[in-house]
Amino acid sequence: MEKTYNPSAIEQKNYQNWEEKGYFKPHGDTSKESFCVMIPPPNVTGSLHMGHAFQDTIMDTIIRYQRMQGKNTLWQMGTDHAGIATQMVVERKLFAETGQTRKELGRETFIEKIWDWKKESGNTICKQMRRLGTSVDWDRERFTMDDGLSAAVKKVFVDLYNDDLIYRGKRLVNWDPKLHTAISDLEVESKDVKGFMWHFRYPLADGALTADGKDHIVVATTRPETMLGDTGVAVNPEDPRYQDLIGKNIVLPFTNRLIPILGDDHADMEKGTGCVKITPAHDFNDYEVGKRNNLPMINVLTFEACIRDEAEVFNSMGEKSDDYSTELPKQFQGLTREDARKLVVSELDALGLLDEIKPHDLTVPYGDRGGVVIEPMLTDQWYVRVAPLAKTATEAVANGDIKFVPQQYENLYNAWMSDVNDWCISRQLWWGHRIPAWYDESGKVYVAHTEAEVRTEHNLDDSVKLTQDDDVLDTWFSSGLWTFSTLGWPEKTMDLKTFHSTDVLVTGFDIIFFWVARMIMMTMHFMKNEDGTPQVPFKTIYMTGLIRDENGEKMSKSKGNVLDPLDMIDGIDLESLVTKRCGNMMQPKMAKKIEKQTRKAFPNGIEAHGTDALRFTLAAMASTGRDIHWDMNRLEGYRNFCNKLWNASRYVLMSSEETPCGFGDDAGNEMQLSLADRWIQGQMQTTIKEFRHALDTYRFDLAANILYQFTWDQFCGWYLELTKPILFKGSEAEQRGTRHTLLNVLETLLRLAHPIMPFMTEEIWQRVKGVTGLGGESIMIEPFPEFDAKLVDEKAVEDLEWVKQIIMAIRNIRGEMDISPKIPLNLLVKNASDDDQRRFTENQAFLSALTKLESVTIVAEGETTPVSATALVGELELLIPMAGLIDVDAELTRLSKQLEKAQKELGKISGKLSNERFVSNAPEAVITKERGKQAELQTTCDKLSEQIETIKAL
């Protein structure tokens, strides 16, 4: 074995081997329990970031753990077409390369371009995942736009339409004026901004006057430009100031449109002037007010959010209407909403109708993709009626069929579910599932899987011209079907029967509404058990936190602080990293800042750490319910851990190669286990138990710590050192026993660690197999270790803990007295019990090897002893004669420090025990324990004081 762990030499070859051998596939034995995890499909044209690496690590750990327990295990791989994101990327690429827009290219050609790009970039993710060691079944890889999933999408749409759960309607939607598409309310991000509240005077019609004799009322608005579409003014029906005006009219400036004053609770008497202008076509609240009061709706904006040349007038049902003129004042036509706002304000001012302008804090909706202000827009869109679906989905969580880990996310889920809007699923994009709806020339809509089906079902011959809806479905519509569409639905496949419901979903809390909730709703509506009860998509949802950068900032391309998991694995030099981060910037001026930041954070670039170290770090940091601050130091620490395990294995293999180890031909020969052998076996078992519990409860951080602690502190720190005296000086039977144990424990440890660190455990396991001659093709299909109580030897644990204490006490003297490890020591012991004496006799070899003792002499009570440095183990006194070398001051300091510590602790405990209420209330066991501690500490203090006196007397 190489002296230093070198991940690059072992990772890829092992992965290739696993994949070739088909270990990632379900073994297909359906008599065994099945286990399935669905990958949250990453964007096919994207690349994986640290968040993906994190989730993939968790999923792979879960999957490997279950697979090793013999289950018929499937980790389903696949990618998402990511409608708007992908379309934007390809559009930008097209423009950069050819200067063409997608419209110039035409729909069909443009979609071909996207498919080309998908082919080209789709491999990026697969390559990354292979490097991460993910054991997904590659042969089953799916794509949300492949034929099977497209068929599922069509069927779901048609069925929901027929069940009246999908409808089409003219509604106010969130419109992205940059991307020219509707988006769902989830895709809108509200931001707080400082703006203004404008107060306008609206003249009353027909000479009406207000209660205080004015010929106008004052309305307040944050969006002056929308006044061109006003169709009413609302006042509170209880408001004494305006009550009398209800039913009267206003002459709207510029258009001279006559609009009514109406009473509606939406108008808040306390807020602003108490009068609210109502623009049903451009504001969600006003839309509701308009509907309640049968107000016409006037759309004054184009899809680019500019003032139209001619308005569109609808009645409150959304039908074309001639209630008002469509005329719009010339000076506003074609202006952007921003310019229109300025002009409206200045012209109203000129007319003497601007009452005042007040600074105002408001929240403004932005599109999460395009980044521009969203415009509420009156358009025809398709919607899913969510409420009936949400009911079942809510119950599944309430009754425990679906569990969130951590549980607190249930609240979030419930809160959203109980107050959910209908889901706008149509998008004015080209990339996505085309809506299976056709229109005849009169605009009548027909929904079916194909045009042919429409014609058959409705007896329409070829003379009737049908046009398919231009729009596509929201990406989340198809990913909402992910758990069952990937398993072959709508066909009744064996896979569905075997793997659905799936077991665990691992995903980020940020897509709990976008994806998780919708997946639950869709799945429970379409997937039924034989008795008709709904199937849940998954039984457990493990929610991960976000991975943030070293400063706790969210990682994003625009901030330039993203990390590529492959750079953690392979390393990258500073210049390449800077280029990578600053290239392709949307805002080139950010590049300088990002470069500076990067050079500061990674002055020497990034070293290679290997996949196992990366995975171990991610697992170790995966505490539930909180975000992760990425920390390169942790990664480095765990890389060192990998090296530690590597070298421990190297030691085990070097000590046992071509020597009798009790395996193969040598099995059955006399084998004697040392105290250390028996001890480590027990420790291994305890570790197995704890580790399994951690994995079973999704505590990957605890699992990683348990593994780390056992490997480094117990196995390497104590056990390997304790094997040395035996391997160097023990009898043949003892050596065989120790080698056997070394190999056994290492082999078990490797299997235990495999789910988290697959590569090095396989590499080493294959070599261990070479020595033991035991069978098995690959560690990844070996059984996962199980706890065996018979292997825990309590007496061995007690004896070895004693040995450790003696060793630590002597090391403490060496360390603090600055005695070179080269100088052999002679140990005198006083006050030794029978057990102590036995232990000294039995463990001489261990003691002298680990502390370089030359001799141990039991001193009788009362016998005089030479000047010594001393230590206590319980009541046992250890003396190291210092024969003229003693540094009196150093020894006094050392003992005083210990005495002070002991006295402090003793004071605390004595205080407790002298408290009568403690003694009368605390459980017996606690009191006994405290009394024991008190006695022990008392002895310690007495002995230390004695020793201090002795030293002082010199």
Hey, which residues between 169 and 228 contact RNA (CB under 7 A)? Answer: 185-186, 189-190, 192
Binder among 266, 634, 689, 767 for RNA (CB under 7 A): 634
First to last CA, the chain: 55
Q: Which is nearer to RNA, 247 or 821 (CB)?
A: 821
Residue 451 buriedness (CB in 10 A; 0-12 / 13-18 / 19+): middle
The smaller minimum CB distance to RNA, of residues 526 and 715, is found at: 715
Residue choice 223, 282, 433, 699 for contact with RNA (CB under 7 A): 699
* Distance of alpha carbon 421 from the chain centroid: 26
Q: What does DSSP assign to residue 133?
A: T
Q: Counting Cβ atoms within 10 Å, is residue 125 exposed (0-12), middle (13-18) or buried (19+)? A: buried
The residues that bridge with 258 in the sheet, in sequence order, are 251
Q: Which of residues 545-574 bind RNA (CB under 7 A)?
A: 552
CA distance 514 to 40: 12
- Among positions 71-110, residues that touch RNA (CB under 7 A) are none
Q: Which of 667, 918, 945, 948 binds RNA (CB under 7 A)?
A: 918
Cis peptide before 490 (omega within 30 of 0): yes
| Residue 114: exposure state from Cβ atoms within 10 A (0-12, 13-18, ≥19) | buried
Determine the size of the site formed for RNA (CB under 7 A): 74
Using the contact rule CB under 7 A, the part of the chain among 25-33, 390-398, 840-848, 922-930 near RNA is: 922-930
Min dist CB 843 to RNA, Å, is 17
* Window of 97-105, 329-337, 571-579, 643-651 that interacts with RNA by CB under 7 A: 643-651
Q: Under rule CB under 7 A, which residues in 350-379 are in contact with RNA?
A: 363
Strand 472-473 vs strand 426-427: parallel, antiparallel, or unpaired? antiparallel
Binding span for RNA by CB under 7 A among 69-77, 347-355, 435-443, 628-636: 628-636
Least distance in Å: CB of 613 to RNA?
8
Q: Does 4 bind RNA (CB under 7 A)?
A: yes
Minimum gap (Å) between residue 930 Cβ and RNA: 8
Of 237, 815, 824, 874, the one binding RNA by CB under 7 A? 815
Identity of residue 177: P
CB 909 within 8 A of CB 930: yes
State the virtual CA torsion across 690, 691, 693, 694 in degrees, nearest 10.
Answer: 120
Greatest alpha-carbon span in the chain: 122
Handedness of CA 813, 815, 817, 822 (dihedral sign): positive
Which listed residue (309, 631, 696, 732) binds RNA by CB under 7 A?
Answer: 631
Residue 720 interacting with RNA (CB under 7 A): yes
Contacts of 744 (CB under 8 A, 6+ apart): 681
Q: How far apart are CA 335 and CA 341, in angstroms?
A: 9
Q: What is the DSSP letter of 204?
A: B
Stretch that binds RNA, among 61-69, 407-415, 516-524, 749-757 (CB under 7 A): 407-415
Residue of the chain from 211, 398, 415, 890 that contacts RNA (CB under 7 A): 415
Member of 269, 362, 412, 797 binding RNA (CB under 7 A): 412
- Distance from C-alpha of 116 to C-alpha of 122, rounded to nearest angstrom: 10
The three state secondary structure string of 775-836 is CCCCHHHCCCCCCCHHHCCHHHHHHHHHHHHHHHHHHHHHHHHCCCCCCCEEEEEECCCHHH
Chain centre distance of CA 225: 43
Residue 944 CB, nearest approach to RNA (Å):
14
Minimal distance in Å, beta carbon 415 to RNA?
6
Residue 121 as a binder of RNA (CB under 7 A): the answer is no
Specify the residue, 780 or 853, whose C-beta has the smaller distance to RNA: 853
Q: How far apart are CA 673 and CA 38, in angstroms?
A: 46
User: Is the Cβ of residue 254 or residue 918 nearer to RNA in the bound state?
Assistant: 918
Quick note: the x/- pattern for RNA over 418-457, rule CB under 7 A, is -x--------------------------------------
Contact between 637 and RNA per CB under 7 A: yes
829 binds RNA (CB under 7 A): no
Instruction: Say how far apart CA 744 and CA 719 lie, in whole Å.
Output: 13
Per CB under 7 A, the list member of 626, 729, 838, 952 interacting with RNA is: 626
Residues 225-244 that bind RNA (CB under 7 A): none
d(CA 210, CA 301): 32
Least Cβ distance, residue 430 to RNA (angstroms): 27
Sole window of 163-171, 346-354, 524-532, 711-719 interacting with RNA (rule: CB under 7 A): 711-719
Q: Does 705 contact RNA by CB under 7 A?
A: yes
Tell me the closest approach of the beta carbon of residue 494 to RNA, in angstroms: 38
Residue 644 binds to RNA (criterion: CB under 7 A): yes
Among 291, 369, 580, 933, binds RNA (CB under 7 A): 933
Other CB atoms within a 10 A radius of the CB of residue 751 amount to 20
Which of these segments, 38-46, 80-88, 586-594, 913-921, binds RNA (CB under 7 A)?
913-921
Pick from 323, 627, 666, 887 the residue near RNA by CB under 7 A.
Answer: 627
Compute φ and ψ for 522, nearest 5 degrees. -65, -45
Kindly indicate which of the ranges 556-564, 590-598, 794-802, 811-819 contains the residues binding RNA, using the contact rule CB under 7 A: 811-819
